[in-house]
Each structure stands twice: as structure tokens, then as C-alpha cells.
Structure 1
Amino acid sequence: MYKLTVNLADFLAQYWQKQPTIIKGGFASFTDPISPEELAGLSMEEEIDSRFVSNLDQNWHAEHGPFTEQKFAELADSHWSLIVQATNHWHAGAAELVEPFKALPQWLLDDLMVSYSVQGGGVGPHIDQYDVFIVQGMGKRHWRVGAKDIGQYKETKRHEALRQIESFDAIIDDVLEPGDVLYIPPGFPHDGYALEPSLSYSVGFRSPKEQELISNFADYVLAHDYGDKHMDKPTLSATEHFGQISADDKQTLTNMLMSALQDESTIKDFLGCMLSQSRHQLNIIEPEDKWSAENVAQHLANGGAIYKVAGLRALLHEEEPTMVYINGEVFKLPEAQTWLARALTDSEVIVDIEPNSHVVPLLTELINKGYWFID
């Protein structure tokens, strides 16, 4: 079990989206949860998002997986990195590294990205628009972080698949060793490269942009057939100006546009559905032989556990703790089952519960959807 050596609440108050910093020994006696060979194995899978970046002699090259064994057999001894996104969705050991950060809202958690780099390997100087905790595993990596200054840094196209900037002056210039943690808020330029074969673990937190909210809300309105009406104006009068939008019509249309945004129930369900969907593919596998409610009840009665699929988002609103949003779906629980809603949203494992008539049908449905599973 991984445990931070700093108080996360105090850390957030001082640094979160304010300034980058390095926590020396952020994880004491750190042990890598995954090996380079296992990471390479994940990058060979079609459903897993992986990248390969090389920069030998400043000749930048990038490509997406899946990769083959031949690819790894032909690699040079230096200046390349293998990157696998959402490793916590596919590797149980790697998923444990997310646990210490669960004091932050789950809907903000993007993924655990793991990078294996040989000497000189990195992705070049760049700027991200999300918060990230970079945990150093095996080996050493040199990091530089610059000041946040929107518009100061010029983008450069060393490769079409890489969004890099030209250069920056460092406010942090240090070497990370196993267990060290580098925190970088959005908008701060940074660049890291391996001094020797090394593993880095990036726990990223990302909120939706305004345009994502607007775009997704429009899709939600269309999918649910909301607002299917035109402007109603029986008082329309003749006008001298054919091409003019009257101030009154503009206000009416604006009111139509804003009406959906003023419906608290619609917004609540939209946000629950949107934020409960992961940006990365999940390892959801529906069981070929569906579970019956009787079998699930017997499993629970025997003290058996039910496990949440890694990375699956299960959320609820603070003011409505019996409405659970799971992977974009809505599940309404009885008032007496608030504790179950909390178990679904806060825990990775459901165990030691009474298999009553309210609990079993919902758990059976979630198991047969592949959201939870019995090992």
C-alpha cells in the first residue's frame, strides 16, 4: 500500500493550482508497481492507448501503438520513451498508486500515465492544461519547470504528433529519485528526460473546458429530446427593416436558450452523466453467463466480495445521495440505501453486506453490465 509522506490537505491548500513543487521522498521506500516488460506488454494491446517517442540527435519521432515485439527488439540504447495511458485501468498493481490521491474528487481524476525512458528519453518541453503529480520510480530523471506566463512561450513543430514549445527559463531544476514527487499545475512549462533507464508515474487531474460542457450539454439535450419547440409570438408586427433582429426577438430567443440551463434537475443529471464517463477505455467485460439474483445473494451470504472495474467512475451529488451516476447511466436507490450509494461511489470493493431484496437486484444488474465483477 502506497502512502504519501505529506498531508495532502495541507499540500493542496499551499500548492494546488498555485505553484509547482517537488516533494522529496513523497513516497518512502518506493517500489515500482509495474515492470518495464509489463508496460511493454500493455502497449501491445489494441484497446490500450500507448505512444512511443524518440529524440536521437534531436530528430523527434512519435507514433501510437499497439506495438510488436519486433519494435522493441530494434530499439536503440538511448533517447526514447514508451508511454501508456490509463495504466491503472489495466494493471492492478499500478492502480494502487492512485489510492493515496483519493482525497481529491474522482470526477477530476483523469488517469495514471506510466512512462519508461532510457537515457536521454523524454517528450520535450511542453505545457499541459491539467494538474499532475509525477512520481519517480526506478532510475533518475532530470526535470525543469518554468514560470506560468500565457502567451510567452512559442510552440514549435518538431513532429506533428508532439505539441512542444521552444524554450523556457527554469524555476525548478532538479533530479528526481525513486519516491520523489513533482507537482505541476496547469499552464507551467516543463521538460523531463531520463538520466538512466527509469519509470515515471503521472497521476493526472483534469476538469472539462467550457467548450466541452457546452458541446456535451447540446448532445445531452438532443439525446433526451429536450426543448423541442419553436418561438411562440402571436403578437408579431410588421417591420420596416427586413434584415433586422428586434431587441424583443433577441431577448425571446435568449430566454429559450437559457431555459434549459435554468432547469436544475436537467443540469444535475447532465453533469452526473457526463462526469461519470471516463476519458479512457475501461476494461469492461460483460459476463457470458449472466449472474442470477439468487447466485449473487448466495455469494454475498458467504462473505464474498464484489469488485469495481478499475477506473470506473461512480458518482453522486452531495444534495441527492441516492441517485448514482455510473459510466453515464443513472441508478436511483431507495432512501434507506444511502449507505449502498456511498459504497458504490467511495469504495473499490463491496463486502460484508446483507443480501436483502433492495441490494441484490442492483448489484446483479451492475455485475451483468460488467461494471462490477466477482473474482
Structure 2
Amino acid sequence: MYQVTFSFDEFLAEYWQKKPTIIKGGFKDFIDPISPDELAGLAMEEEIDSRYIAKHGKEWDVKHGPLSFDNVPEDNWSFIVQAVNHWHEGAAQLVTPFRQLPNWLLDDLMISYSTPGGGVGPHIDQYDVFIIQGSGKRHWRVGPKKDDYEEEFGHPALRQIKGFDPIIDDILMPGDILYIPPGFPHDGYAIETSMSFSVGFRSPKKQELLSSFADFVIANDIGDVHYHNPDLPARKACGAIMADEFNAMETMMRSLLDHPEMMKQWLGEHLSNSRHDLDIVAAEPPWQAAEIYQLLDSGEAIKRLGGLRAFYYPEQANVLFINGESYELPEECAIAASYLCDEEAITRSQLGKLIDNPAFIALLTQLVNQGYWYPNED
């Protein structure tokens, strides 16, 4: 099990979304959780997002997966695989130490393999990222946050900038962690063949929230009411939108937000949607509730699918939001939210009397049959 060597409380107070930093030896005795061959195998899969990036002099070459690795050059290339925590159980364990941060902010674990000189060029991201150096060494430079960096178009698939004066300029060794907040330019290249593991945290944008909420309103047939004004006066300026008419329609729109329970449902479902595919395999044949009970009662663990997003509101913990849908339990089962959403596996010893609640066992059976949780084969 991976453990960080630093205090998250101190880190959040000093660095989170404030300034970049390198945490030397952030992981002690770090060992890559996945081999280059395993990573390459994932990059060859159709449903997994991957990229190949190479530099030839001043020219860049980018290919999107599924990848093949025929006729690759000796140096100056990388390949990157997104959401590896969804597809590789060992790699997913690297996310566990970061569970002290809100899981609804977690995006994915991205892994890159680079030959000497391999990188993606100087660029700026709009999310928080912890870049963990695995095997090999990598040179990183990070610049100050500014609004006037000039874009460079080395390749249509790469959003690069022309350069920056670094405030961090260092070589990462295995187990070192580079933290970069949104908006800080950075550039890294491999000094020797290396693996990098990036745990990314992505907050939603205003546009994204508004679009999602509009979709929810339409899908649930909410607010299907026309503007009415029975006291409409006659006017000479027929082309004018009068102030009271503007105010009335603005009030109509704002009234859609004045439903706290509806807003909670929308946001819970929205945040529990994953931006990346999941390795979902529905149970076949389906499990019966009695079988799930017996499995837990015998001491077996049931694990949550890697990358599955599951959340709850502490003040209404009997309602769960899992992979874009709502699930409601009786109020006496509210403790189940902590086991299902905070923990990566559940066991008989955790559940106590909850294991004897038919509603809880029925929901767990449904989730296992959907492929969201699965019996631990170990």
C-alpha cells in the first residue's frame, strides 16, 4: 500500500491552488505499480484514451490511440494513457493516498512512459496535478502564473506555449512529487527512460454546470411554464423590452434554482458522472441477495470498481449518487453511505448490524449485478 510522507493539512494550507512545489521523497521506496509492457497493452485498447507524442527536431508528431508501437524511434517520444485507475487495479492503489482530498474533484490517474528526451513541450493546464516520478529521472521546469503567455502551434493536437522563466527547475527522482496548481506553465522531459504518474484533480466550470443543469431541467420536465402577464399595458414602442418584463423573466429563470432538494439531486448526479470510460462488466448470471449476504458473512470483501464515482450529502446520507444516478435507502441505512462512498471495499466486520438490513443487501446486490462493485477474487 502506498503512503505519502507529508501532511495533507500542511500541504493544503501552504500550497493547494496557491503555488507549485516539489515534495522530495513524497513516496518512500517508490515502485512502479504497472510495467511499461502492461501500460502499452492498455494503450492498444480501443476504449482506453491514449496518445503517442514524439519530437523530431522542431517538428512534433501526435497519434491518438489505440496505439501500435511498430517503428518507433529510439529517443524523444512518449506515450500517455488516461484513467489507468479505471483499468488496472495495482495502479489504482496509487490514488488511495490522495483520498484526503474530495473525491468529487478527482479526475483520473494518467501515466506516461518516456524515452530520453520525451515530453509534450511547455504548456498550461487548468487543473491541479500531482506528478509522481516513477522509475527513471525527469527534468521539470515550472513558471509563474501569468495571463500573457504566447501560444505556439507545434502541432494541432498540442496546446503549447513559447516558453517561460522557471520558478522551479529541478530533476525528479523516483518517489518525488511535483504539485502544479491550475494556470502555472510547465515543461518536463525524460533524462532517461522513465515513468510518470499524474493524479489529476479537476473542478467544474461555470459553463459546464449551467449546461448540465439545463439538461437536467429538460430531462425531468421541470419549469415547463410560459411567461404570463395579464396586466400587459399598451405601448407606443413595440420594439422595446420593458424593465419590468426583463425582471419578470429573469425571476422566472432564477426560480428554477430555488429548489434545494432538486439542486442537490442534480449536482450529486452530475458530479458522480465520470469523464472517462469505466471497465464495467455486469454480473452474469446475476447474484441473488442471499448469495451476497453469504459472501459477506463468510468474511469476503466486496470492492468498488476502479474510477467509479460515488457520493452522498452527510445531512441526507441515505441518498447515494453513483455513476450519474440516484439510489435511495431507508433512513436507518444512512451509515451505508460511508461504507460505499468513502471506502474502496466493504467487509462483514465494517457493516455490523447493517448486514441484516434487507434494503441494504438488496441495493448492494443491484450494484454488484451492475458491475459497480465486485467480490474480491483475492
TM category, shorter:
over 0.9
Q: For residue 154 of structure 2, give the secondary structure of its aligned residue in structure 1.
A: coil
Q: 1: CA distance between counterparts of 2:34 and 2:58?
A: 29
1:192 counterpart letter in structure 2: G
Q: Which residue of 2 is the match for residue 310 of structure 1?
A: 306
Mean CA deviation greater in 282-291 or 178-187 = 282-291
Q: 1: CA distance between counterparts of 2:83 and 2:302?
A: 22
Q: Which residue of 2 is the match for residue 337 of structure 1?
A: 333
2:142 counterpart letter in structure 1: V
Q: TM-score, normalised by structure 2?
A: 0.96
Structure 1 contact 260–266 (Cα < 8 Å) conserved? no
Structure 1 contact 333–341 (Cα < 8 Å) conserved? no
Q: Which residue of 2 is the match for residue 297 of structure 1?
A: 293
Q: For residue 267 of structure 1, give the secondary structure of its aligned residue in structure 2.
A: helix
Q: Which residue of 2 is the match for residue 170 of structure 1?
A: 166
Q: Which residue of 2 is the match for residue 127 of structure 1?
A: 124
Q: For residue 158 of structure 1, give the secondary structure of its aligned residue in structure 2.
A: strand
Gaps of at least 5 residues in structure 1 are none
Shift of 1:300: 2.0
2:229 counterpart letter in structure 1: K
Shift of 1:239: 1.0
- Post-superposition Cα deviations, 1:252-286, rounded to whole Å, max 9, x if no partner, equal 10011101112111111111000011111111111
Q: Which residue of 1 is the match for residue 219 of structure 2?
A: 223
Shift of 1:359: 1.8
Q: 1: CA distance between counterparts of 2:318 and 2:357?
A: 17
Shift of 1:218: 0.5
Q: Do residues 98 (structure 1) and 99 (structure 2) align?
A: no
Structure 1 contact 301–355 (Cα < 8 Å) conserved? no
Q: 1: CA distance between counterparts of 2:219 and 2:374?
A: 29
Structure 2 contact 268–311 (Cα < 8 Å) conserved? yes
Q: Which residue of 2 is the match for residue 14 of structure 1?
A: 14
Q: Which residue of 2 is the match for residue 234 of structure 1?
A: 230
What are the residue-to-residue correspondences of 1:177-188 with 2, within 5 Å? 177-188=173-184
Q: Which residue of 1 is the match for residue 71 of structure 2?
A: 74
Shift of 1:248: 0.8
Q: 2: CA distance between counterparts of 1:156 and 1:5?
A: 38
Q: 1: CA distance between counterparts of 2:314 and 2:246?
A: 36
Q: Do residues 204 (structure 1) and 200 (structure 2) align?
A: yes
What are the residue-to-residue correspondences of 1:127-146 with 2, within 5 Å? 127-146=124-143
Q: 2: CA distance between counterparts of 1:178 and 1:4?
A: 13
- Post-superposition Cα deviations, 1:343-368, rounded to whole Å, max 9, x if no partner, equal 01101111113243122111111111
Q: Which residue of 2 is the match for residue 117 of structure 1?
A: 114
**Aligned structure 1 segments of 4 or more residues deviating by more than 3 angstroms:** none
2:285 counterpart letter in structure 1: D
Q: TM-score, normalised by structure 1?
A: 0.97
What are the residue-to-residue correspondences of 1:338-357 with 2, within 5 Å? 338-352=334-348, 353=351, 354-357=355-358
Q: 1: CA distance between counterparts of 2:62 and 2:70?
A: 17
What are the residue-to-residue correspondences of 1:183-194 with 2, within 5 Å? 183-194=179-190
- Post-superposition Cα deviations, 1:156-189, rounded to whole Å, max 9, x if no partner, equal 1110000000111000000001000000000000
Shift of 1:56: 2.0
1:328 counterpart letter in structure 2: G
Structure 2 contact 329–360 (Cα < 8 Å) conserved? no
Gaps of at least 5 residues in structure 2 are none
Q: Which residue of 1 is the match for residue 368 of structure 2?
A: 367
Shift of 1:114: 0.1
Q: For residue 157 of structure 1, give the secondary structure of its aligned residue in structure 2.
A: strand
- Name the Cα RMSD after superposition: 1.0
Q: 2: CA distance between counterparts of 1:250 and 1:356?
A: 53
Q: Do residues 154 (structure 1) and 173 (structure 2) align?
A: no
Q: Give me the identity figure in percent.
A: 56
Structure 1 contact 56–78 (Cα < 8 Å) conserved? no
